[in-house]
Each structure stands twice: as structure tokens, then as C-alpha cells.
């Protein structure tokens, strides 16, 4: 590889390693696998760097490689944990429960990173993946659609259900921990 190509890889691809690692961690559910998956993704990207068109979206390109590598080589290794049911979700339910007691959702502030990551991990694969790409990595719908190979409408409906399911999980956990009272128990 020419020095110019190496330099462009270093400048355009490597800065996205944190994003690649974060997504790998949530996909694989395990730090050792996440490191292997992130490394393999970056090596594959390096080997095919000549196919990358400079100035296009390197992060989306890397995340596509990551996702394909995960599906082909790692998915079977993911331990199947409990998964939350998202099929019933159709409305903004948590807000309706807390609008009189905590309309600003200040109870969320009592939850720590680990609580949130654990809750994200219980989302079904395709919902977890969509939520990560949108809400953790900040990708636009069109890019998520391209990476996950579904129409934009599917991205939107998955995102809605994933966010609401996550909110509900965290709300239930906050009740359990006593950070907020159930509406019927509140004064």
C-alpha cells in the first residue's frame, strides 16, 4: 500500500475505531469478542481500502463491514440472554405514566451507564442494532437503512419500538429501585 493510502486510512478510518468498538461490544455482548470483531473489521477495511472512495462516509463503510463480519462469524457465539418483547409497543407509554409526577423524566438521571447498557442488551438484535446506530452513533436514517439493508420505514418503526421498549425497561427498573413511584402510589 502506498504511503498516501496508508495516511488516508490512518486519517479517515482509524478515528472511527471507538464507534466500531462500541457497536461491536453491543452486538457481541462480550469484551473479548468485541475486541476481536473490531480488530477484524479494521484489518478487513485496511485490506480493501483501495475500494473505499475517499471523502465518502468512512464510518458507515466500517460499520457495514463490522455488521457483515458479525453476522457471518460471530452471531452464533452471542450468548442468548433474556429478550424484551417489542411487538406490543405502539405508543408513548412511559410519558403518559409520569406526566403528572415527573414530566421532565428526572428519574432517568439516577440511572448509571451500566443500567442503560444492560437494558439495551435485552433488546432483540435488529432493534438493538438500529438504536445503537441512531442513538449512540448518531447516524441518519438513510445510512442506518443502508447498513442494515432494510427500507427507511423499517428503520423508523424499529427505532420507535426500541426507544419505547428501552424507556419502559428503565422506568420499571427505576420503580424497582425506588427512584420513582408508580402513578397509583404517588401522592
Partner 1 sequence: MTDSPQAIDCQEALERLYDYLDGELTAVRTEEVREHLKSCAPCMALSSFESAFLRFLEARTRAQSAPEELKRRILQNTVFDARDR
Binding site for partner 1 (CB under 8 A): 1, 6-7, 9-10, 14, 17-18, 20-22, 25, 35, 38-39, 42-43, 46, 92, 95, 98-99, 103-105, 108-109, 111-113, 115-117, 120, 134-136, 138, 140-141, 156, 159-160, 163, 166-167
Say which residues have a Cβ less than 8 Å from residue 131's Cβ, sequence separation at least 6. 120, 123, 158, 159, 162, 163, 166
Residue 78 Cβ vs partner 1, minimum distance, rounded to whole Å:
18
Phi then psi for 87, rounded to 5 degrees?
A: -70, -25
Q: By C-beta, is 113 or 176 nearer to partner 1?
A: 113
For the chain, give percent helix, strand, coil, nearest 5: 70, 0, 30
Rounded CA-CA distance 164/93 in Å is 7
Extract long-range pairs of 153-158: CB within 8 Å, 24+ residues apart.
155/130, 158/126, 158/127, 158/130, 158/131
Minimum distance between the CB of residue 187 and partner 1, rounded to whole angstroms? 20
Residue 95 Cβ vs partner 1, minimum distance, rounded to whole Å: 5
Nearer to partner 1, 83 or 153 (CB): 153
Residue 60 vs 120, nearer CB to partner 1: 120
Task: Work out how close the CB of 59 gets to partner 1 at its nearest, in angstroms, rounded to a whole number.
Answer: 14
Q: How far is the CB of 148 from partner 1 (least distance, A)?
A: 16
In 3D space, the residue among 158, 123, 161, 162 whose CA is nearest the CA of residue 144 turns out to be 158
Amino acid at each position: 500500500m502506498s504511503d498516501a493510502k496508508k495516511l488516508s486510512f490512518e486519517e479517515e478510518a482509524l478515528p472511527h475505531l471507538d464507534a466500531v468498538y462500541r457497536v461491536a461490544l453491543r452486538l457481541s455482548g462480550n469484551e473479548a469478542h468485541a475486541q476481536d470483531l473490531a480488530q477484524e473489521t479494521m484489518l478487513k477495511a485496511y485490506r480493501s481500502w483501495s475500494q473505499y472512495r475517499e471523502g465518502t462516509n468512512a464510518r458507515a463503510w466500517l460499520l457495514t463491514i463490522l455488521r457483515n463480519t458479525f453476522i457471518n462469524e460471530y452471531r452464533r457465539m452471542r450468548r442468548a440472554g433474556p429478550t424484551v418483547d417489542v411487538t406490543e409497543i405502539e405508543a408513548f407509554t412511559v410519558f403518559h405514566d409520569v406526566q403528572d409526577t415527573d414530566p421532565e423524566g428526572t428519574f432517568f438521571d439516577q440511572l448509571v451507564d451500566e443500567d442503560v447498557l444492560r437494558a439495551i442488551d435485552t433488546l432483540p438484535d435488529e432493534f438493538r442494532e438500529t438504536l445503537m446506530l441512531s442513538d449512540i452513533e448518531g447516524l441518519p436514517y438513510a445510512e442506518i437503512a443502508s447498513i442494515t439493508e432494510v427500507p427507511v420505514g423499517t428503520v423508523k418503526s424499529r427505532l420507535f419500538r426500541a426507544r419505547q421498549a428501552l424507556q419502559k425497561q428503565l422506568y420499571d427498573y427505576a420503580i424497582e429501585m425506588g427512584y420513582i413511584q408508580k402513578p397509583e402510589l404517588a401522592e
